[in-house]
Structure 1
């Protein structure tokens, strides 16, 4: 038994809209930063910064930034945290790496951010050393309260990992 199928529509060649934009180019970016801890009076505190998001809203987040030149993720984390918070520290361990996508007006970005746990060694909280002037404010927040301050769920989870490690 042969099936009958309807004839294809009687159209000419398919035309494309020449005004339609071609796909955006993809750019890969790598950043590093993390959770820098200072223990005072038996409580762990985390340095967090406030910066403007793409929409102009002020959001609290963990300090982080792009790798420069040939530096490693650990080196970039130490440098970025120092620049954005004024606090110099050393890496205790890797906490997590997250990746996400976002689109700008001329490109799609695949970003990977490596987060580390750092111990504060010395310094004073300040945003004055941030060469990009992205950080507008910086504060020490108790680790058991910092999740309510952070804007991004991934960063709240990373602080949770740090807190679990510190409680062991």
Structure 2
């Protein structure tokens, strides 16, 4: 692609993230992170980030979720990926770049950790009930991923109830 003044270059970024869920005092909760935006308004979103060399998408999701939330999780299932476009300026040339962003998401069950241990990239990491999160998530596309995760979580809990029931019976 030629790069003359006023032209726009296209790039592709591939990231991975987690929908980290736990049961706490009888409630289902999700961990969201607050990120500052270029416009200065903070946004609440699902933890995600770039896939490093040698990492699988699943490994990157676990690492990024741990770094951004301070909490560890166990992957339960893969969710539908997101695809969207955004623009940014090239650091060297100032040229406008259109970026096609692909994000793989995974449903994760919280295992341990503390939201206070998040890295410097996020302003805050916090647990929300499902209903609070649906109102809080800043981006519609991530809200749809979360809604899919709710169904997958419910299915996981349903399967767990049968496994626990079956473990108590002997043949």
TM-score when normalising by structure 2: 0.80
The alignment partner of 1:144 has SS state of helix
For structure 1, list consecutive stretches of 5 or more residues without a partner in the other structure.
1-19
Bigger helix fraction: 2
Dislocated runs of 4+, deviation >6 Å: none
**Alpha carbon RMSD of aligned pairs, Å?**
1.4
The alignment partner of 2:61 has SS state of helix
Number of equivalent positions: 146
Q: Does the alignment pair 1:138 with 2:113? A: no
> Would the aligned equivalents of 1:84 and 1:126 in 2 still touch at CA under 8 Å?
no
- Tell me the equivalent position of 1:124: 114
Give the C-alpha shift of residue 143 in structure 1: 1.6
Give the C-alpha shift of residue 167 in structure 1: 2.3
- Measure, in 2, the Cα distance between the counterparts of 1:97 and 1:141: 22
Q: Does the alignment pair 1:86 with 2:65? A: no
- Measure, in 2, the Cα distance between the counterparts of 1:36 and 1:135: 16
- Tell me the equivalent position of 1:27: 11
TM-score when normalising by structure 1: 0.82
Structure of higher CA gyration radius = 1
